[in-house]
Amino acid sequence: MKNKKIHSPYLSRCCMFLLLVSSIFCANTSYAQSCNAKYAFKINDLQVSFTDSSTAANFYRRQWNFGDGTTSDSKAPVHTYKAAGSYRVCLIIKDTVTGCKDTFCETVKVKSPCTSSFRYSLSGKTVTLHADTTLNKSNATYSWKMGDGNFKNGKSLNYTYAADGKYEICLTVNDSPCVSKICQTVTIVSGCHAKYSFKISGRDVYFNDESAAANNYIRSWNFGDGKKGDAKSPVHSYDSAGNYRVCLVIKDTVAKCADTFCETVKISNCASNFSFKVRDSVVTFIADTTNHSSTAKYNWRVETGVFKKGKSITYTYSKTGNYEVCLTVEDSPCVAKTCKVVTVGNTGYSISGLINAGSDTAFPGRVWLIVYRANDSALKAIKVARIIKTSSGPGYLFENVLSGTYYVKAALDTTSNSYSNYMPTYSDSALKWAKATKITISKANVTGQDIFMIKGTNPGGKGFIGGKISQGANKKEGEPVSDVEVLLLDENGKPVGYTYSDMSGDFSFAGLAWGTYQVYTEVAGLPTFPAIVSLSETTPTNNDLKIKMNSTSIVTAIQPVYKEVHTGLKLYPNPVNNILNINLDDKTQQQATMTIYSITGKQMQITIKPASDNMQLPVNELPNGLYFLEVKLDKSQTITRTRFIKAF
């Protein structure tokens, strides 16, 4: 039987009606897709009360992640953390009808109810200790580790050490289940002990104060030639050979003690010196043989790679220019060396200017003439002159200067009354060579190149920063570098003070206020990046800065390039121009050492400060390019690494 086609107007109308109803029904079943996760919270010591305030079109499921590895699905959970710190808490919601999903995260900072610290005062070898704590419970215990093998108990106590020295005192407060520990280092000194070391180089003597006292002390040097100073590591130049009784006096005004240490410094007659006469390209050099024996040897370096011998020599240069000539005198057992810059060619040009150091109008000091070599962008000091008196005030003058580009830099002597107030300054008023004013000589003398000395301001405090400068790989690696200028700036780049590395390469800044500082090593022509250090009551000292100096740059170290490991570490903005913000998911209160490496593995910058979820690094001094950031936590030794781009 064949199927018959059925034609019915009623059936057609019915189908059309069903299609219409279906389309209307389907159009009205388009559900809202919006859902927004949100929560509020209230902190009470280690306990945090959370309230879900999310919105969604339908019933939704929730999940809390409290940032310490625990979770919950309650609407208003109350969570207790085991330790103080910053925790990234996230609430995730999901609409069970539409499938809409949203996540809301915030950083929650909790503090331990048993955080503690302690105060101490010294009287001779006796230390008085007092615990400062948020605990008020009578059953809390206070345990002291005195650093000499002994232990004591009690909230307050007096303890007398058997010998002078440095002792790390640790306080542990226990109120189960909460335990808090803090340590501080104290220096026990009975009275005052003055002492110094020194190194002789020709007629220049490098002194270093190695005294000890219970408190900050005042120092005074008497160099035995009628001149005085108060610097920690002064460099003093004697005018003639002889024996000089050098005395260092220290005074502790708190402990009301004083001490004097004296030694005899012998300046030998074999100090190297020479004179020279220039006639066109021919120069005659004559050694000063005063007080030298008949067996003394005279070795000359007249230019790079060219050496001569004899009391007097004549040398013809192939072209005009500035040449550093060095004479080494060997008169057993003494060896002395001196270098001078010789200008070959008839230039007749000069550079001059005034030195301004506030109201001080008479001060001893030096000015350096630094040449800029355009072919390799290198800087080199070629002449040094004393600050002189002029009719307009203190000034300087360099004569017989060739055409070219130069910088000038002034620094006061340690014997100047203004030495500790004014920083070494480039023309016309710059602390760093990269920001100094260039001086160009073409076919005429250049005058009016004044230098306005920059004043450093230290408000004072109990903080301390120290470190060591050593040779990089281009010389005998690890050897200390002395007499290197180190600037101390605040976090905004304002000058605080300066010093020079001593014979051991060490440098230090004492009596600092709490805050963030830039430690900047300044050597003309060498790119350098500051170490950034934060001082506080919990971190009053940083004495472990390591700076390496080579022929092309100054860095804090050279390390291999690290692979990227960035668990819990977030950076923004990236690329960055000035300030790099760092979000570190750290659950404990630790010190964070943040180190920036170039793509070649060179350490460019180091910053040490307490870890938090919102740390900031100034990177405006970095050249544009790709860098690695390494964050190391001191207690857990956790190392986190990631990359960022320094842009314009």
Element containing residue 580 per DSSP (H, E): strand 579-584
Query: Could you read off the pLDDT of 461-501 as tens digits, one per residue?
Result: 888 888 888 876 545 555 778 788 999 998 778 899 998 88
Instruction: Classify 558 as helix, strand or coil.
Output: strand
Residue 303 sits in the same domain as residue 318: yes
Residue 180 sits in the same domain as residue 200: no
Instruction: Classify 492 as helix, strand or coil.
Output: coil
- Residue carrying structure tokens 């170039």: 598
Residue 296 sits in the same domain as residue 392: no
Longest dimension (CA), the chain: 144
Distance, in Å, from the CA atom of 177 to the CA atom of 104, rounded to the nearest integer, reads: 32
Which pair of tokens denotes residue 304? 């790079």
Query: Could you read off the pLDDT of 335-348 as tens digits, one per residue?
Result: 788 888 888 876 56
β-bridge mates for residue 549, sequence order: 471, 554
Q: Containing domain of residue 233, as a range?
A: 192-267
Q: What is the pTM of this model?
A: 0.45
Residue 380 sits in the same domain as residue 443: yes
Residue 72 sits in the same domain as residue 130: no
Which pLDDT score, from 0 to 100, does residue 223 have?
95
Residues in the chain where the model's pLDDT stays below 70: 1-33, 112-115, 133-138, 176-178, 202, 269-270, 333, 346-348, 360-362, 373-378, 472-478, 529, 552, 555-568, 585-589, 599-603, 634-639, 648
Distance, in Å, from the CA atom of 81 to the CA atom of 91, rounded to the nearest integer, reads: 17
Residues 6+ apart with CB under 8 A from 646: 575, 576, 577, 619, 622, 623, 624, 625, 626, 627
Task: Tell me how far CA of residue 544 lies from CA of 43, 370, 557, 594, in angstroms.
Answer: 37, 32, 12, 14
Distance, in Å, from the CA atom of 52 to the CA atom of 33, rounded to the nearest integer, reads: 20
Residue 178 sits in the same domain as residue 216: no
Residue 288 sits in the same domain as residue 333: yes
Which pLDDT score, from 0 to 100, does residue 245 have?
94
Which pLDDT score, from 0 to 100, does residue 220 have?
92
Q: Is residue 261 part of a domain?
A: yes
Q: Of 93, 110, 127, which closes a domain?
A: 110
Which pair of tokens denotes residue 611? 């870890």
Residue 477 sits in the same domain as residue 622: yes
Which pLDDT score, from 0 to 100, does residue 27 have?
37
Q: Is residue 418 part of a domain?
A: yes
Q: Of 71, 92, 110, which closes a domain?
A: 110
Q: Of 126, 156, 188, which closes a domain?
A: 188
Residue 473 sits in the same domain as residue 583: yes
Q: Is residue 15 part of a domain?
A: no
Q: Is residue 177 part of a domain?
A: yes
Q: Is residue 9 part of a domain?
A: no
Which pLDDT score, from 0 to 100, does residue 41 have?
93
Q: Is residue 579 part of a domain?
A: yes
Residue 552 sits in the same domain as residue 431: no
Residue 504 sits in the same domain as residue 637: yes
Query: Could you read off the pLDDT of 445-471 as tens digits, one per residue?
Result: 898 899 999 988 888 888 888 888 887
Q: Is residue 505 part of a domain?
A: yes
CATH of the domain at 41: 2.60.40.10
Query: How many structural domains does the chain have?
Result: 6
Q: Is residue 11 part of a domain?
A: no
Which pLDDT score, from 0 to 100, does residue 613 have?
76
Residue 121 sits in the same domain as residue 182: yes
